[in-house]
Amino acid sequence: MRTIQRNRFEDLEIAPASFGVAILNKEKFLEVLKELEAITDLNLLKIKMMALKGGITFPKRDREGILNIDSNGDTVSLRKDVLISELGQILEAHTIGRAKYYLKRLENGIQKIKTSKINDINLLRWKEYDGIITDSLWVLDKRDTSGAHLGWYWGNFIPQIPHQMMLRYTKRGEWVLDTFVGSGTTLIECRRLGRNGIGIELNPTVTQNATELVEREHNKHNVTTEVITDDSRTADIEAVLGKYGIKQVQLLIMHPPYYDIIEFSKDRRDLSRAENIDEFLKMFGDVVDNATPFLEKGRYFALVIGDKYSKGEWIPLGFYCMNEVLRRGYLLKSVIVKNFVETRAKRNQKELWRYRALVGGFYIFKHEYVMLFKKKGRA
């Protein structure tokens, strides 16, 4: 008997890794889990669990009918690799108490949904969200150029930034405001993830291009995405939101010019045209002041910013901006350090920069920041 069980177990170990979805007959699966929970002998529980795991991994072995979906049946879709690993965890439990704890957890994940106030992550199935980054160091090897994300705009951010922010800090159908919309990366991501998005951009030509690009992204969740041309320091955000019958947004994203690193226009209202750092910080602060009343209390503000060099000195622009935000009723939640995805131009100049760094005693910029703030007060 033992030998047979071991052989079956080895079969499971060499099974091809599958990251597909297991669609199960919910009622039947819960019934089987309940039966397992009633077992008091750990070995017997493991033998039955092995059979269950076998049936899910190799559908031909599904004697319980867990994979049989009748036309009126209620189904549950689970990530197959996560489910198999959870069943494996039960098989490895050393005590019956532990095994039952894991069983109950699996059952809860199927029957219930537990989310926080600020996103749709089902905490009872948190293992399925391994695409959501929780570390403060982001090393991304390439930008997402799928769909309408073309990456044509010099000074844009990679779509993974608004993507991660929206998944962590908004629920589907909520509203996002981006006060420096540029090529519309945030709004394209809004369409993909089913969030409504309002963007403000100073340069009318850039607004026009962004609008066209955003329109190219299929609006499968039927959300609102609008780019308006205005100065974010003074734009009438109340009126813009009022058009859609809302008073506040649930996520604020800002990716301002990194002072004068890229001159975005000749317009004196453009933050990249500030006379000096003090004026840049004043202008940035004015944008924060103008937008803050329209962010719901307890919600998040993501600031994407980098530092710069000037006359042989490292200027901590990111931290200066952080201080501006902290003076305005926000808590600092995280400072994420993100690598720069290398562009072709930079790659070509690599050796020159390395030489300059060795001569000048400095380090070459390879990172920028995603700073996360929470508006004080309860939601």
- In the complex, the residues that contact ligand SAM under the rule CB under 6 A are 153, 155-157, 180, 182-183, 185, 200-203, 206, 231-233, 255-257, 264-265, 269-271
Half-sphere exposure (CA, 13 Å, Cβ side) for 250? 18
Min dist CB 176 to ligand SAM, Å, is 12
Min dist CB 265 to ligand SAM, Å, is 6
CB 217 within 8 A of CB 197: no
For the chain, the three-class secondary structure string (H helix, E strand, C coil) is CHHHHHHHHHHHHCCCCCCCEEEEEHHHHHHHHHHHHHCCCHHHHHHHHHHHHHHHHCHHHCCCCCCCCCCCCCEEEEEHHHHHHHHHHHHCCCCHHHHHHHHHHHHHHHHCCCCCCCCCCCHHHHHHCCCCCCCCEECCCCCCCCCCCCCCCCCCCCCHHHHHHHHHHCCCCCEEEECCCCCCHHHHHHHHHCCEEEEEECCHHHHHHHHHHHHHCCCCCCCCEEEEECCCCCCCHHHHHHCCCCCCEEEEEECCCCCCCCCCCCCCCCHHHCCCHHHHHHHHHHHHHHHHHHEEEEEEEEEEECCEEECCEEECHHHHHHHHHHCCCEEEEEEEEEECCCCHHHHHCHHHHHHHHHHHCCCCCCEEEEEEEEECCCC
Backbone conformation region of residue 245, classed left if phi is above 0, alpha if psi is from -120 to 50, else beta: left
Min dist CB 349 to ligand SAM, Å, is 21
Min dist CB 188 to ligand SAM, Å, is 9
Q: How many CB atoms lie within 10 A of CB 104?
A: 12
- Give the residue with the Cβ less far from ligand SAM, 54 or 257: 257
Min dist CB 317 to ligand SAM, Å, is 12
Min dist CB 56 to ligand SAM, Å, is 42
- Give the residue with the Cβ less far from ligand SAM, 33 or 150: 150
- Give the residue with the Cβ less far from ligand SAM, 163 or 233: 233
Ranked by CB distance to ligand SAM, the top (closest) residue is: 182
Min dist CB 258 to ligand SAM, Å, is 7
Min dist CB 341 to ligand SAM, Å, is 13
Give CA–CA dist 51/236, Å, rounded.
Answer: 63
- Give the residue with the Cβ less far from ligand SAM, 61 or 216: 216
- Give the residue with the Cβ less far from ligand SAM, 24 or 227: 227
- Give the residue with the Cβ less far from ligand SAM, 70 or 267: 267
- Give the residue with the Cβ less far from ligand SAM, 174 or 189: 189
- Give the residue with the Cβ less far from ligand SAM, 125 or 149: 149
- Give the residue with the Cβ less far from ligand SAM, 119 or 156: 156
Min dist CB 269 to ligand SAM, Å, is 5
